[in-house]
Structure 1
Amino acid sequence: MKTRLMAAAAPLVLGAGLLGGMPMTALAKTAPAKDAAAAATPAYSGPFAQPSTLPFHAPDFAQYKDSDWQPAIEAAIAQKRAEIAAIAASKAKPTFANTVVAMERAGGMYDRVNNVFGQLTSANTNDTLDAAETALSPQISALNDDIYLNDALFARVKAVHDSAAGKALKGEDAMLLSTTYARFVNRGALLAPAQKAELKQLNLEIATLETKFSQTLTNGTAAHAAVFDSAAELKGMSDDAIAAAAKRAADQGKPGKYVIPLLNFTQQPALTELQNRDARKKLFEASITRTSSGDQFDTTGIVSQLAVARAKKAQLLGKPDFATLQMYSSMVTSPKQAMDFMKGFVPALRARQDSEAALLTEAARADGVTGDLQPWDWSYYAEKVRKAKYDLDESAIKPYFDVWNVLENGVFYAATQTYGITFKRRADLSGYHPSMRVYEVFDKDGSSLALFYYDPFSRPNKKGGAWMNNFVDQSYLTGNKPVIVNTLNIDPPAGGQPPLASWDNVTTMFHEFGHALHGFFASQKYPSLSGTSTARDFVEFPSQFNENFATVPQVLQHYAKHYQTGAPLPDGLLAKIEAAGKFNQSVALGETLTSAMLDMSWHTLTPDEAAQPPMAFEAKALAETGLRTDLIPPRYKTPYFRHIWDNGYAAGYYAYIWTEVLAHDGWAWVVKNGGMTRANGDHIRASFLGQGHSKDFAVMYRDFTGHDPSVEPMLEARGLTAGSK
């Protein structure tokens, strides 16, 4: 998952070339002069007043205090507001350079500070940072409104958009003007004054509620971790995992107990191992009720308010629903198109769910279980059947996947072989947590390309899931190169043990690095078109595409080695992994598909419809999917669906399935054209991975493959084609 795009727009990045036909050196001399508003901006002399002096202007975490962030961002908001005010108040005739490009230049300090702060509140938060986020979110909402609802500023943008000079722009210049104008319109620039005032209040309410939801969910997930009284209840888990659960409990002031933390999704990894059915039920119910049990961490009231506010905002802006409002710039252009696309998977998937449910029920009966199969049973018996049918034991796989070895000799190796880039550990640079590592990335010609931070391990103050973020945005205009972080939630190693990854973890490592590559290769003129600043239903394409490299034999042989003996992954085990990967599509695709359909259902409601009790609406929406949600609940139920209530995926979670179609179809092109070669790497980089939003997304995809996407390679990869079992 890409973050802060995840939450709003991706971190902004700039690219090379001419700006509006003017050399960059000339444009730099034409930056708008500071006006009275800028002159009145309070001076700020804190640690973020100037870019960091570390290489690449990387954040100097050793120098920052928790108390630094709020005053720095408040000062940055004031500076950006003054810079925008100067553009709006300019007496010069509006031009592309002095209006649209000038806006791209504004807010340097704001981006510099907020990029890092957003990562900290997601990955290493505390009470001080949470309080700062609560205070800042309405201020940031107000800043955005001050920009996009500024009549004078929009008049200048519209004048350029409607002018002959504007219509004559080409390439990225034309794309920037088009997207900037559309963004103003979609954010209310054409509304009457009274409507703008109402929109500002709705935006403020939405921003406040999103922050409240996020913080409540993070705290509630930690607070509702499953607590067990004895090691016997955890039978089936490894000795190391049980020891880690005991240590976790002791660290939390519960000596003699055992704590299993909740990951962000519904099904928890331990459900595949726990032999005690009551223990499975306890863990499952802790997961699905984490923020809906009526205590201080209940998010259902927040959800109701958010859904209503978003529906009201959509109607105010002349749209039938929030999904239509959100999808104005997407590759898939309407809620109906997205739902029709998703419904196309239902018949084959429902048939698979029914057949796999029967298979698992048979396994449960053989195990002495009476009564109906339950959702907390599914993962356990699916794993038993997987082991029996494919002779595949997840615990036997993990020793071959040391986290740092997978990263350096797998993820990095694949990128080196495909794109020619190389990596060097920078032990002189540190992250915000001691478990992190930092690497310098070099381009194929040996020049420095980027810095890369890696934060792989879970902790109680980290949001669930995995994501990519920019600390520093690439910009040829400013001379900055990208500083990028990948964040995951792999179980940290027990004392003295190596950090081992599951196969799902390995796939996620390759996935998030696909986002990183999208950022490393950013090379556009303008911030809002660069790198990962793409539509939600395109940005997951590079990341899902990169997952394919995990199983290329040349790559797998380079990183899949036993951490104790160095022995390679045994012959035939990859084939078992891939064959087993087609099993249990009931969950693998089903829980994602139902989450995506639930998301779209929430965001196609009117305000009155959105006011109904959340869990009652969820039950109705899930029943309408036609899938076995009684046994296979969605990956995220409404009260802990962070993607859509805080992380910017509202009416966009379908993107994971849509971009998987692109990824499999794109990989079919790679296989057909010789596989993992440097020539193909150059083509991938030139056609889409380095293009940002410089072109229409469908055009970029056709530039890559020569055709529009086909769903067949994805169905084949998931074993859902006719005759598959």
Structure 2
Amino acid sequence: MTTRFIVAAALAGTSLAGCTTMTAETAERPAAVAIPQATGYFAQPSTLPLHAPDFTKISDADFAPAFEQAMAIQRAEVAAIVANPDAPTFANTIVALEDTGKMLGRVESVFGSLTGANTNPTLDAIDAAISPKLTAHYDAISLDPGLFARVKAVYDNRAAMSMTPEDAKLLEDTYDRMVHAGAELTPAQKEAVKAINARLSAVTTEFGQKLTDATKANALVVADKARLAGLPEAEIAAAAKLAAERGQDGSYAIALQNTTQQPPLASLKDRATREALFEKSWNRAQRGNANDTRALIAEIVNLRAKKAALFGAPDWATYQMWDRMAKNPKTALGFMEQMVPALEATQRADAAALNAEIKASGKDFTVQPWDWQMYANQLKAKKFDLDEDAVKPYFEVNRVLEDGVFFMANKLYGLSFKKRDDLPVYHPDVTVYDVIDRDGSQLGLFYFDPFQRDNKRGGAWMSYFVKPSQRDGKMPVVYNVLNIPKAPAGEPQLVSFDNVETMFHEFGHAVHGLFADQQYGSLSGTSVARDFVEFPSQVHEIWASYPEVLANYAKHYQTGEPIPQELIAKIQAAAKFDQGYQFGEVVEAALLDMKWHALSPAEAAAIDTPEKVTAFEDKALKELGLAVDLVPPRYRTSYFRHIFSDPAGYSAGYYSYLWTEMLDRASRQWFLDNGGLTRANGDHFRATVLSRGGTQDYFEMYKAFTGREPDVKPMLEARGLVADTK
């Protein structure tokens, strides 16, 4: 969801969140420590509205010196706290620490956005060079014994202090994160942690870069247009354009997306082409060439297990889940394992139905992963009389955003949006909007970057250019990034309903950031546990198919006619179809993640070659009890960016998508039971969840919203895995 630098900084300590700010550029400090003078573009906040980055004044060459200078400034700021002769207090230690690193936050936020969405070889080289330095920088702060002594002194005296609830949470988080980073380890252990962190930073950065290259390099290229039969003409034209851009005029190139399954597999009629595309996807990052990521994975899991052992944890998952809503691997695994029997039965039943469909089509083979989506769509069309290609003309991307997503936000929260053409962007595809709150005041800025590019990492995410903080007067500047294949010039930009739901989902993250109502940036907005952060975004998917919202945006791009009610009914009726695959691939990926991160140091050390990585994956998948031969995981180990592309990321945390779906499904029912799309409901959700940031216990926050405990049953019912009792 968020960029790697914001996540990395948060791991190092509350003061280090990527966009942390302070009340003044030069806060009062002891004279004994000289603070270096900041220079260059990032020395001061941007002069653009809400301090949005001025991309016309930023060059690639700015970043390396800016990082070095910003780290030096923050080191001096921290040294000033440690050298303060006054007794430690909440103000001169905890708040002072929160106030460090302003310039570094500005550099990281822009650099992280570019390396994620619009990278190039120069930025990649800087990324590879600076990542270990940043890790060492954050470690030096988190493991500074003098700083921790002051933090601990304040923490130990907390019962005698008068603090607001948010002050108390900041103190608690600062102390806990420093302990989790290793502040209480011995000097030798601290050095070992630093060495591991530095190497993890380097190797996970390399993993991400190799994977981006591997995904680009493994586009399926065909010379014969007949092999693309079944694809819409617009997609064939886009494939021809991509091949031409790559110097292969006369051919057709289908770019890979980040997941195992590829959208064209649902339409391609030629089975050999489907198999070739699937093979390109499945083996993209383990071909024994320069982009093979398996040796890096072996090193990553080994380093993580070793680090966990330094903290007395049996495995990385136990160490990593210290601040999660689920608390420990046992809870997360128990939650997922209760789904396996029903899910496996559904997968086998779905496969049998597809085999019958294949036979009815006059074919003589049994379903394989590269066949599944095509025949599932064929069966869905028969069962529900639903043609996916007949749906797309009603979903034009700009109309979905402005008449769908923004319309929902207006009805639910009273927000309005005004497009701006005066703010610089990092790519021509990006658009910017003022976000106006219910009282007419400006709430923030929203950047939207929807289209797939070779230099953009896969998936979809939200992050910040400016993270909000009341005490600093900083308002949110947020962005959503997606990977929708771009239509050829002059063609309408139509999207699938999956893309529509993703737009609503990512905007859920955006409003979580926009509604931040915290004094401290490190507690604001999306600064919540990994297994809670997806909850607000998933809840917003309900509005993509809500009748009032659909009626406003789902209009034929040529005629303007609204989507027929019978087509809406078919979409809703088909929602539970093919859950053996749609749900199964996610559960498998989440369980595979846990398998990797439940390894002891000895077990991890034994996986020391690319071949052993593949062997462990094969064994782990077979042990899941699911039909992985027919339904492979959403991400194979070698391209599982979520868990291997930064030092922590979603490692031992991919279950979060399932956990938060559990929270989401019960919450959707709350909305429906209380009148649906109303301002009263939106205001309640905003007050109890979206504006609370990381300031409260997550179970208490959830109960304040829904009035009930989380329950897995609504999710299983929604997925069609158990009978709906309503």
TM tier, shorter chain? over 0.9
Secondary structure of 2:470 counterpart:
coil
The counterpart of 1:577, out of the listed 565, 571, 580, is 571
1:519 maps to 2:520 = no
Query: Which range moves more in the overlay, 62-71 or 120-129?
Result: 62-71
CA distance in 1, matches of 2:42, 2:444: 21
Alpha carbons of structure 1 residues 120 and 166: separation in structure 2 relative to 1, 3 Å: farther
Alpha carbons of structure 1 residues 337 and 455: separation in structure 2 relative to 1, 3 Å: same
CA distance in 2, matches of 1:609, 1:367: 48
Match of 1:136 in 2: 130
Q: Which amino acid aligns with 1:639?
A: S
Query: Which range moves more in the overlay, 361-370 or 164-173?
Result: 164-173
By how many angstroms is 1:189 displaced?
A: 0.5
Q: Which amino acid aligns with 1:699?
A: E
CA distance in 2, matches of 1:124, 1:30: 33
Alpha-carbon contact 2:478-2:513 (below 8 Å) kept:
yes
Match of 1:284 in 2: 278
After TM superposition, the score normalised by the length of structure 1 is: 0.96
Which ranges of structure 1 fall in alignment gaps of 5 or more residues?
A: 15-23
Alpha-carbon contact 2:243-2:251 (below 8 Å) kept:
yes
The counterpart of 2:29, out of the listed 11, 30, 33, is 33
By how many angstroms is 1:167 displaced?
A: 6.0
CA distance in 1, matches of 2:138, 2:9: 12
1:209 maps to 2:208 = no
Match of 1:45 in 2: 39
The counterpart of 1:567, out of the listed 533, 556, 561, is 561
Match of 1:545 in 2: 539
Alpha-carbon contact 1:411-1:513 (below 8 Å) kept:
yes
- Residues 302-317 of structure 1 correspond to what in structure 2 (within 5 A)? 302-317=296-311
Alpha-carbon contact 2:240-2:251 (below 8 Å) kept:
yes
CA distance in 2, matches of 1:218, 1:10: 25
- Residues 295-694 of structure 1 correspond to what in structure 2 (within 5 A)? 295-611=289-605, 612=607, 613-646=612-645, 648-694=649-695
Query: Which range moves more in the overlay, 509-518 or 665-674?
Result: 665-674
CA distance in 2, matches of 1:538, 1:723: 26
CA distance in 1, matches of 2:641, 2:415: 34
CA distance in 2, matches of 1:684, 1:7: 25
Q: Which amino acid aligns with 2:643?
A: I
Secondary structure of 2:41 counterpart:
coil
1:198 maps to 2:192 = yes
Alpha carbons of structure 1 residues 69 and 5: separation in structure 2 relative to 1, 3 Å: closer
CA distance in 2, matches of 1:423, 1:317: 48
Secondary structure of 1:423 counterpart:
strand
Match of 2:18 in 1: none
Q: Which amino acid aligns with 1:719?
A: G
Alpha carbons of structure 1 residues 154 and 282: separation in structure 2 relative to 1, 3 Å: same
Match of 1:17 in 2: none
Alpha-carbon contact 1:32-1:86 (below 8 Å) kept:
no
CA deviations 1:34-74 (Å, max 9, x no partner) are 655544x3x44211111111111100011111111111122
By how many angstroms is 1:370 displaced?
A: 2.4
CA deviations 1:262-287 (Å, max 9, x no partner) are 00000000000010000000000000
CA deviations 1:221-259 (Å, max 9, x no partner) are 001111112101110001111111111111101112110
Alpha-carbon contact 1:548-1:667 (below 8 Å) kept:
yes
Secondary structure of 2:701 counterpart:
helix
By how many angstroms is 1:450 displaced?
A: 0.3
Match of 1:21 in 2: none
Match of 2:8 in 1: 8
Alpha carbons of structure 1 residues 385 and 35: separation in structure 2 relative to 1, 3 Å: farther
CA deviations 1:369-420 (Å, max 9, x no partner) are 3243211111111111111111111111111111011000100110110111
Secondary structure of 2:443 counterpart:
strand
Alpha-carbon contact 2:235-2:487 (below 8 Å) kept:
no
Alpha-carbon contact 1:30-1:98 (below 8 Å) kept:
no
Secondary structure of 1:385 counterpart:
helix
Which ranges of structure 2 fall in alignment gaps of 5 or more residues?
A: 16-20
CA distance in 1, matches of 2:564, 2:33: 68
CA deviations 1:665-719 (Å, max 9, x no partner) are 1111111111111111111011011100111011100100111111222122212
CA distance in 2, matches of 1:519, 1:75: 28
Alpha carbons of structure 1 residues 34 and 438: separation in structure 2 relative to 1, 3 Å: farther
Q: Aligned-pair RMSD on alpha carbons? A: 1.9
The counterpart of 1:54, out of the listed 42, 48, 55, is 48
CA distance in 2, matches of 1:9, 1:667: 33
CA distance in 1, matches of 2:6, 2:705: 25
CA deviations 1:160-187 (Å, max 9, x no partner) are 1101556654411111111111101111
Q: Which amino acid aligns with 1:554?
A: E
Alpha-carbon contact 2:585-2:634 (below 8 Å) kept:
yes
Higher relative contact order (CA 8 A, sep 6+): 1
By how many angstroms is 1:476 displaced?
A: 1.5
By how many angstroms is 1:32 displaced?
A: 4.5
Q: Which amino acid aligns with 1:624?
A: E
After TM superposition, the score normalised by the length of structure 2 is: 0.96
By how many angstroms is 1:640 displaced?
A: 0.2
Secondary structure of 2:172 counterpart:
helix
Alpha carbons of structure 1 residues 723 and 54: separation in structure 2 relative to 1, 3 Å: closer
CA distance in 1, matches of 2:158, 2:579: 54
Alpha-carbon contact 2:5-2:112 (below 8 Å) kept:
no
Q: Which amino acid aligns with 2:677?
A: M
Alpha carbons of structure 1 residues 375 and 93: separation in structure 2 relative to 1, 3 Å: same
Alpha-carbon contact 1:531-1:692 (below 8 Å) kept:
yes
Alpha-carbon contact 1:166-1:174 (below 8 Å) kept:
no
Match of 1:19 in 2: none
Alpha carbons of structure 1 residues 520 and 265: separation in structure 2 relative to 1, 3 Å: same
Alpha-carbon contact 1:33-1:86 (below 8 Å) kept:
yes
Alpha-carbon contact 1:299-1:639 (below 8 Å) kept:
yes
1:183 maps to 2:184 = no
Secondary structure of 1:8 counterpart:
helix
Alpha carbons of structure 1 residues 418 and 396: separation in structure 2 relative to 1, 3 Å: same
Q: Which amino acid aligns with 1:33?
A: R
Q: Which amino acid aligns with 2:630?
A: L
CA distance in 1, matches of 2:436, 2:279: 47
Q: Which amino acid aligns with 1:284?
A: F
CA deviations 1:464-510 (Å, max 9, x no partner) are 00000100111112211110000000011112012111100000000
1:110 maps to 2:82 = no
By how many angstroms is 1:572 displaced?
A: 1.6
Q: Which amino acid aligns with 1:717?
A: A
CA distance in 2, matches of 1:140, 1:577: 48
Query: Which range moves more in the overlay, 714-723 or 384-393?
Result: 714-723
Q: How many residues align?
A: 712
Q: Which amino acid aligns with 1:481?
A: M
Secondary structure of 2:465 counterpart:
strand
Identity %: 53
Alpha carbons of structure 1 residues 13 and 550: separation in structure 2 relative to 1, 3 Å: farther
Alpha-carbon contact 2:344-2:625 (below 8 Å) kept:
yes
Alpha-carbon contact 1:5-1:533 (below 8 Å) kept:
no
CA deviations 1:180-235 (Å, max 9, x no partner) are 11101111001111111111000001000110000000011001111112101110
Alpha-carbon contact 2:6-2:108 (below 8 Å) kept:
no
Secondary structure of 2:472 counterpart:
coil
Alpha-carbon contact 1:457-1:491 (below 8 Å) kept:
yes
Alpha-carbon contact 1:38-1:79 (below 8 Å) kept:
no
Alpha carbons of structure 1 residues 4 and 515: separation in structure 2 relative to 1, 3 Å: farther
Secondary structure of 2:565 counterpart:
coil
